[in-house]
Chain A
């Protein structure tokens, strides 16, 4: 067995409690990241669902000509951002209102004249539900003379996207913060391991071992500890997901890529933290 693997394995054997604690600490730190990832992922899914409902409605004046409406339908449909355009007649609008607002059925029944306008309901393609695109398509539709009004809930769309931006910034800040905490924990664990083996390191330096050679077992140890911590974090996040799913409400599990990234992040954190800790120690002695 190569020296690096043997020494890293020996370090685990010599101090299993320390290794377990290190992995547990890393696991807990990454678990918080995992929980945040789970929440962020589900928030993103929820936002996407809401975004899919972002719709522009162009209300038409009474008496608009069928040919003009058909032309507008075709022209708006041909816009690259637009997924579909549906023409809703006055009668269909009334039926829809009766269906969706049953508490006003008496009012609707007493009407002599249908007050609801015909409309063009414009659906945007996924990824185009941002305020700029929505406003541009709405402006385009409003330029037709037979269009009386265009509604798309400007404030609502703005708020939705502000929320999304805030989510992204929060994810970066909190994720970065937790990553830093995890790195500190790994670094501390490695420093403890280095301290426990300071005599060996001094002798290695004394007899002329290269710094890279001295570092290797610690880097491997950091990578393994980090990966174990990552695996623990994933297991805890999965358990939380299952508990929420069964007893509270339906949520989605994070994508497989994120799980792999979690493990990789654990390993990378482990290597980087170990590297920094060993480098600092080697400079000191």
Chain B
């Protein structure tokens, strides 16, 4: 599903953001990507989403490889990989339903299916009754749910979440985490970047990868095997 093979990413003035990182996330796995700020979590997420390319090494995501996927074909990958940000990135001045419908419409969903599917997705994330609300009228947790519904618009195989609970209180965080587990239970792989180690301990079934200064320093799966 997601495979990084000796991936290194260097920036001209900053030096290496990732160094020789390798891991494999199979289909349906729930995985935390942890580490301090600047450890390379967001860079890893951006590489998997092919917003950037590795300086060396290879990256494979759902049949797409970093070496062979041209810029012109990235849209195909993006439809298989949903992405969620810490800061939600919803379109202001539109309702929850319109935000989800927008993602459906711009990716070619037939017009007659857009509204019902948007409503179904909002129901899935627990916002059936808030579909008509403007996004600024929603709480942080609700806005993140809208963002998750939008990320699910194209029935992706993988969900990438970059610090999705970073702006939320504990209660909203739990709600969002429960939602991720529900989505994961449906067979979707989830890779969630977070610096919150307490959060990762609340979900012992999840795999944990830890980055430190661009290097992979811990993999719970390997650690278990080694133990």
Contacts and interface: CB of A to CB of B under 8 A. Distances in A.
Given A3-B106, A213-B106, A207 B91 contact: no
B89 A207 contact: no
A205 interface: yes
Contacts of A204: 106
A203 to B, nearest CB: 7
A76 B48 CA distance: 84
Interface size class of B (residues with CB under 8 A): 20 to 34
B83 interface: yes
B143 to A, nearest CB: 14
Interface residues of A, number: 15
B89 A208 contact: no
Given A199-B89, A199-B91, A213-B106, A207 B76 contact: no
Interface in A241-270: none
A207 B72 contact: no
B105 interface: yes
Contact of A208 (B75, B91, B102): B75
Q: Top 3 A-B pairs ranked by shortest CB distance?
A: A208-B78, A208-B79, A209-B106
B154 interface: yes
Contacts of B154: 207-208
A206 interface: yes
Nearest to A204: B106
Given A199-B89, A206-B78, A207-B151, 5 more contacts: A206-B89, A207-B106, A207-B153, A209-B75, A214-B106
B107 interface: yes
Interface in A206-222: 206-211, 213-214
B103 interface: yes
6 contacts: A204-B106, A206-B89, A207-B106, A207-B150, A207-B151, A213-B108
B72 A211 contact: yes
Given A208-B76, A211-B72, A203 B102 contact: yes
Interface in A97-123: none
Interface in A184-231: 199-200, 202-211, 213-214
Interface in A13-27: none
**Residue in B75, B76, B89 with the greatest tally of chain A CB atoms within 10 Å:** B75
A203 B89 contact: yes
Contacts of B91: 199-200, 203
B39 to A, nearest CB: 23
A171 B223 CA distance: 77
A202 B72 contact: no
B89 to A, nearest CB: 7
Contacts of B102: 200, 203
A285 to B, nearest CB: 9
A205 B78 contact: yes
A202 B75 CA distance: 12
B172 to A, nearest CB: 22
B83 A206 contact: yes
A214 B75 CA distance: 11
Given A202-B89, A203-B89, A206-B83, A3 B105 contact: yes
